[in-house]
Structure 1
């Protein structure tokens, strides 16, 4: 599906995975997300992610999870009695509730706040899936937002709020996060979706937090694959967009500033890894 956004003087299209590419005569530039192969003539960067094969039966998927994490998932359901919920129809109230929660999470983590316009555009296109795990009193613990197609779901945002002064809460939060992923996996499998995409994989070896995120994802099984993020200018304005984008990314003094909205879709790997779309909260991942 082609999602079109107007940015300043540019019409910017967004296409995910290897979906059927529609006519592109109404956009200046197209961002291709996570393709199997690079686009000829486009500017492309490698992007690694971890995929789970949902065509396996549920018992196989369950046994793939580490025994310690299976225990935590069961405990979240049976002892913590957390509640899992999702929405068949995403309206503005749900988007705003999630966005407000995510912005608090971003403040806590020192991240950029949610791009509400981008999220709304994706929701309007019918490709956003949102789920949440909460306590019995209704307090939200973890939110997940996915880009969902007929065959694949890709985690875009995961958000939770830590309370380092309450170790019991932190432990519940860690178990709820695992339980949340498992419930999402089962739901998507039952919908006939064949691939669960964790939304990124850190290929470096220096960032301890990202390595911890990798470790968390690895405990759910799956395999690491290489995709490509590409941007392709179609019109003269689209080529201008790419020129401005390249100028921005090459000037170190600008890299410290907030990215202009009309250049907010850069596919560069170093910037994608630092973006909110790949920031993945793992509340006290090592705790019981």
Structure 2
């Protein structure tokens, strides 16, 4: 389990990731993300969370074997092209991600928010010709041997061929992340959620991207104190 301490409107609260035994706390107020159970808990509101899990014990070749042919071919292309994976700092990641978020009209992140995760967040980049093409933030729980994709951002290019390269680099970086996590003793890679019953649009595209890696569908639970649900992020 990971415990993250934050404040909102001056009020301290906690976020527990992967807690198997959520309980209502009067103080500090606590939000529970991706608890493995589905039970009702007094004082808490349950929200179903759907995601995909990949087994990291099978190793690099196993990850490739689990992919569909399109995803596997794209990752192989990037391996042959000599893409490099590296860790990046909080400031570099935040600037890169927020530029992507602005272009996509989605919520950004902050240095403070990422630092609140402490040693439990990995920030990585796929680099080609000295330029970052994609970056990922991954929550890593060494206690439960579990990792969870948290944020993903891509460089922005106008040319169609450049956009294709970035998509391939993003897939490759997930594969590289999985390899690095396996070496660190992590046994499970969580794809950070899928949209239940998506049939069209961007949500369907994101689902198909993640499903291309061959993960197993799983239902878990977020739990919120009734009056804190709007604080979830």
Q: With structure 2 as the length reference, what TM-score do the two structures score?
A: 0.88
Secondary structure of the 2:57 match is: coil
Q: Deviations over 1:128-187 (max 9, x none)?
A: 111100122x211100001101111101100013323x1221121121111111111111
Deviation at 1:19, TM superposition (A): 5.8
Distance in 2, matches of 1:21 and 1:191, equals 27
Larger C-alpha radius of gyration, 1 or 2?
Answer: 1
Q: Deviations over 1:88-140 (max 9, x none)?
A: xxxxxx111111111110111011221432212113xx21111100122x211
Q: Deviations over 1:55-101 (max 9, x none)?
A: 2244332211122322221211223x3221126xxxxxx11111111
Q: Which residue of 1 aligns with 2:69?
A: 67
Distance in 2, matches of 1:14 and 1:188, equals 23
Deviation at 1:188, TM superposition (A): 1.1
Distance in 2, matches of 1:102 and 1:264, equals 21
Q: Which residue of 1 aligns with 2:209?
A: 216
Q: Which residue of 1 aligns with 2:5?
A: 4
1:108 is aligned to 2:100: no
The one of 173, 178, 198 aligned to 1:180? 173
Q: Which residue of 1 aligns with 2:221?
A: 228
RMSD value over aligned CA atoms?
2.2
List alignment gaps of at least 5 residues for structure 2: none
Secondary structure of the 1:56 match is: helix
Q: Which residue of 2 aligns with 1:82?
A: 83
The one of 47, 62, 84 aligned to 1:45? 47
Distance in 2, matches of 1:149 and 1:100, equals 25
1:113-124 residue pairs with structure 2 within 5 A? 113-123=108-118
- Check the 8 A contact 2:22/2:35 in 1, yes or no: no
Q: Structure 1 residues 178, 142: CA separation in 2 closer, same or farther (over 3 Å shift)?
A: same
The one of 157, 160, 164 aligned to 1:163? 157
Q: Which residue of 2 aligns with 1:153?
A: 147
- Check the 8 A contact 2:21/2:35 in 1, yes or no: no
Distance in 2, matches of 1:204 and 1:264, equals 25
Distance in 1, matches of 2:70 and 2:22, equals 43
Report the more deviating stretch, 195-204 or 170-179: 170-179
Q: Deviations over 1:225-266 (max 9, x none)?
A: 00000023xxxxxxxxx43x47xxxxxxxxxxxxxxxx5326
Secondary structure of the 2:34 match is: strand
1:115-134 residue pairs with structure 2 within 5 A? 115-123=110-118, 126-134=119-127
Q: Which residue of 2 aligns with 1:144?
A: 136
- Check the 8 A contact 2:126/2:169 in 1, yes or no: yes
List alignment gaps of at least 5 residues for structure 1: 88-93, 233-241, 247-262, 267-288
Structure whose residues are more often strand by fraction: 2
